[in-house]
A and B are shown apart, each in its own frame.
Chain A
Amino acid sequence: MIEFRNFASPGIQFGDAVLQPGTENLILVETAEQSADVLNCLTGLRAPASGSVSVFGRDLGKLSRDERLQVLAKVGIVPQDGGLLAGLPAWKNIVLPRQFQSKHHEAGLGDEFDEAMRFCAAACDPGDEWLRQLPDYLSQYQRRVAAFLRLMLNRPALCIYENIAGNLPGRHKETLLELTRRFHRQQPGRISIYLEFDPGLLAEHWSGTLIRGTPQAQPISTPNPHADASSLRISIAPF
């Protein structure tokens, strides 16, 4: 269960909301920066401007670094740029979180990878050439598909999709949304959150929970929400 209490992230106010297990939820914000801020608050990378948000009953911002990483390892996130590491080919990016969590070779990982590929067959290009390419050579759509495959291998209880349908042609948008919904239904109790800043993308025919942020009087702009090291809490700050 995800619980927002009088929650506000910079520039946008949400108030109270509870996301129940098994639900699909759409959080509407106004800009990409606000969407990145909400994601940062949800994952404990930054504190909310006011109020609190708890994930599975725990406020990630108040957990120790290691405890937070343990929780995040069970959360699947598809950032809008895919969040892939530029130095690794797509397939290595997909298996990276699983490989990081395991100390030894996982015999079943290959089968799970194949199963995930079959699940996403409609979304993937024929052949596996794209899997061997570095993220910089992939299209925005392929990067999101790779991030979705990475999420699938994690089998998360909470899935967060940041602007997953944004800037995609209609066919790709529908394919990706269909995949995320099918994946949502695979596991009872799974919570899916779609963070969107374009109301036209999903809100029109949305049947799940809709949380719409209301703008605050003085929004605080974030110049580049991705160029940060907030996650790297090696405190070299005084130096």
Chain B
Amino acid sequence: MTLKIVELRILPPFAIARLGSSPDPMDNYRFEITDPIGIRHIQSDETLVVDRETGEVNGKQRPFVVRFRDSKYKIRPIAPFLEVWVRFAGEDNLVPLTTDILSSVGLEPSAIKWKAHVANIKAYRRTGDINDRIEAQTGSFSDHVVHALEGRCNNFFEDKTIPLGDVQYIKPSKEYPEIRLRFTPAAGKVYGPPPDPGDKDPNIADAVYDPGKGTWKGYFDHLSPDDLNKDPIKARKVTNPANIYAGKAEGDFYQISYGYLDDECDGIVEVELEIDGATLSAYTRVAAGPPTFAPDGMPVRTVGDELEQAMFGPDLDDPVTKQEIAEVRDIVRRALETVRLMNTMQMNKPSAQRGVGMARMDFLDLERALEPIVDPAVADSLAIRARHERVLLALEGGSLAWFARVLRDYDEVGDLSNEKRRKMPALMRNADGRHLALTRRQVNKVRMAAEYFISQTQEGQS
């Protein structure tokens, strides 16, 4: 009996690519933790090798050493595969869609239709000019050639585009029958307007932006008190913190944009399959961001934590599960990995100059007196790192009480008392320019784990 396909999915539902100019995409790797308080170790993993010409998978390889740059020192892009999964009528589980399954319903791989639509709207976010949107669409395709994502924009010069990467439907074979598409991000180059007459701009890979059409070059965030009075809507559209685009400082308030654009993007990849007159479809989100330069560490708060909170809410069910305990261990480890990369002594300095941390932000934004965040005697990077290592070690002994007590709550991010400024994560800024807090769900998870450890001790199970 033929099984009936009732649902399509593309997995993962959200894929993050990382820019890189090497033609050789990054190999798969995974983390291994061998030392409970040491850094993660990167271990190579099996990687599909794709022939870009034919779109076929040539084989699997597991490199001996994981390398993030190729032999010419170019960064290898992270190019995720997007796999199509299906659910059959009466089943709960998804299974990978293969050529065999397609055959079983009388279809060829060419029945699969892909479509990608990505955009870079960073300039548009600031100028508000819809003609500053950079978008790329492939239209529907079922072949296996590389489909370039050519970023077009009304304010570009005629025939100019920014390459935002490409997508390729991987040609299934007997050995690799799965239905998948690969999204390869762009190289990580800078684009913009032509340099002024007589000037050279070594940053720009191609002069695409026509300053005669758009206002991105010369744009500035409307930050002055006068701007707020004259055009409060425009002033309110300014990001916080503001002036975080490439440009030249002018006066006390303004940052005049160079008109630079990058080749990052995000968007949607869709798949369609027509079966028995019905069209099943699915989509996934893709994004291309900058390369990671500390791949063996993870930030203490990630997009993943945000998504988890968005999906499941800030509270957890009692009692905490083993999985959640493992996640707490990971949060503490990520805290250690984060401080490992911080020059805590520098970030603790009470100075109004650029290049220091939150004391500056508190002073400039809120006119708080300039004071270091933590006692300078203990701000040394090694000391802070040692403290985090010991907390992680204590977790193995079943204790988390101190760490749980010192976490900053979400409603304390603007409390500038010394005690609150020293809460964890310390010395770090959130997206609003205030002190960073973990997500509410992360904080609750840690606190519940701390209580769990205490109760475990009660039961003599330490």
- Please determine whether chains A and B interact with each other in the same assembly: no
